[in-house]
Amino acid sequence: MDRPLVVVCVDGCQFEYITAAVAAGAAPFLGRLLAGGGTCFIADCVMPSFTNPNNLSIVTGVPPAVHGICGNYFFDPESGEEVMMNDPRFLRVGTILAAFSAAGAKVAVITAKDKLRKLLGSGMKGICFSSERADQVTLAENGIDDVLDRVGMPVPSVYSAALSEFVFVAGVKLMERERPDLMYLSTTDYIQHKAAPGTPLANDFYAMMDRNLARLDTLGATIVVTADHGMNAKHGADGQPNVIYLQDSLDAWLGLQRARVILPITDPYVVHHGALGSFALVYLTALDGQPQIAERIAALPGIETVLGRAEAAARFELPSDRIGDLVVVSRLDTVIGTSRDRHDLSGLDVPLRSHGGTSEQKVPLLVNRGVTQPPAAHRWRNFDAFDLGLNLAARTA
C-alpha cells in the first residue's frame, strides 16, 4: 500500500442522494469525484438488501452464501427459536480487516450502531468501536480510550444524524493522529429512512459527509465510498405504508401454526421502519403444498418474486441452511409484514421509506482515484470495495 485506505459504507445510500446533494451544491467533494476527479460505478449490493449482510460482505469480500450472515435473525427450526445473528460465531469466514491486522497493519473500524461492532471486529486486532457506545470504550476492549474527548462530541442518540457524524469526525481524528493503514467506517440509515434524496434533511447529511470525506482526501487517504443498500418510498399517495401482512394471509389460507414468517430486518432498533422491509422468509411445517403456497403468495399484489430454498440460495447467493422454505421479495413500493398486530407503526412520524428487496440493490461505488485496469464487463458489487481501493485504484507518485 502506498497510502492509507478508508472504505466508507454509507447506510441506505441510494445513488440519488449523492447526485441530488451535488446538484444542490451541498457536496463539492463528491461532485469532483463524479465529474472525473475519481472513478464511479453503480454496483449491486447483496440480497437481502439489509445492513448486516452487506456490511459483512464488504469486509469479507464474499456474498452471504460464504460468510453466513444473511439478516439480523434466522429461525432455527430445531429449537423453534428466532436467533439473533449479531454474534461472530455465526460468521463463517475471516474478514479482510482481521487478515490485515494479523499481517501487522494498523486497522481501525468505527460503526454507528453497536449491533455491528462485534461482527466487524471479529478476529481483528486494532481499534474497533461504535458511536452508540462511544462513552464505554476501553483500551482492552476497543483498542482506544477517551473517544469522546478526542472527537469532541457527546454520545449521540441512536436515532439521529449525529450518530453517523460521530463516525466521520472520529475517522478524521484517527487519520490525523493514529493514521491507520486500513480504516472501515459504517454509518446508520436514520436520515435515509426519513428523508428522500434532495430534501434539506438529506442534503445536510451529505454536506456533513462531504466535508469529512474531503478532509480524509486532504490527509492523503484512498477513499472508497459504497453503501449496504439503497432506500425507496414504500407508501401510497395517502402516506400510508403499502404492507402485505403475510403471516395473516398464510394463517387464513392454511390455518394457524402451519407457516411462520420471519422478517430478517427485525432488530432492536425498529422505530424508523416498523420492522417493515421488502424481504421475508417463510418456514412451512409441511412441504407438500409448497408450490401452491408459493404461487398464491406470488399472486398477491405487490409481490415481485417467490423462490424455494434452493433456488433462492442460488440466485441470491444465500446460505441455504439459514433461509426459509420460501424466500419472498416485494416490489419497490411495497413491504412485507408478519401479522398486522405485531407491527407498531406509531413511531413512523413520516411516510415509510425502507429496503430489503432487489429494488434497493443498486448502490454507488466511488473511489477518489483513477482505476488502472477496470475489468471488462465486470458486475461491480459493493463487496469489491477493498479490492478496488487496494488493487485497482491507480497509484500516484
* Residue numbers at the binding site for Zn ion (CB under 5 A): 11, 51, 189, 228
State how far the Cα of 51 lies from the Cα of 35, in Å rounded to an integer. 29
Residue (of 178, 197, 201, 55) closest to 114 by Cα position: 55
| Residue 189 vs 325, nearer CB to Zn ion | 189
Give residue number: closest CB to Zn ion. Answer: 51
Task: Provide the minimum distance between the beta carbon of 229 and Zn ion in the complex, in angstroms, as a whole number.
Answer: 5
Nearer to Zn ion, 51 or 242 (CB): 51
* CA-angle at 347, arms to 196 and 305, nearest 5°: 60
Residues facing 337 on adjacent strands? 245
Q: How far is the CB of 269 from Zn ion (least distance, A)?
A: 11
Length of the chain: 397
Tell me whether residue 71 or residue 126 sits nearer to Zn ion (CB atom): 71
DSSP class of 262: E
Burial 206-228 (b: 16+ CB within 10 A, else e): bbbbbbbbbbbbeeebbbbbbbb
Between the alpha carbon of residue 32 and those of residues 37, 369, 386, the distances in Å are 5, 11, 21
Residues ≥6 apart with Cβ < 8 Å to 80:
none
Of 51 and 101, which has the nearer Cβ to Zn ion? 51
Least separation, in Å, of the C-beta of 120 and Zn ion? 13
Question: What is the C-alpha separation between 62 and 91, in angstroms, rounded?
Answer: 12
Residue 382 φ/ψ, nearest 5 degrees: -65, -25
The rounded distance, in Å, linking the Cα atoms of 116 and 44 is 21
- CB under 8 Å to 25, separation ≥6 — which residues? none
- The answer to whether residues 382 and 62 touch, using CB atoms and an 8 Å cutoff, is no
Q: d(Cα 162, Cα 158) in Å, to the nearest integer? A: 9
Q: How far is the CB of 37 from Zn ion (least distance, A)?
A: 27
> Please, which residues bridge with residue 224 across strands?
7, 367
Count of H helices and E strands in the chain?
15, 17
User: What are the grid coordinates assigned to 366, written together?
Assistant: 466511488
60 and 386 Cβ atoms separated by less than 8 Å: no
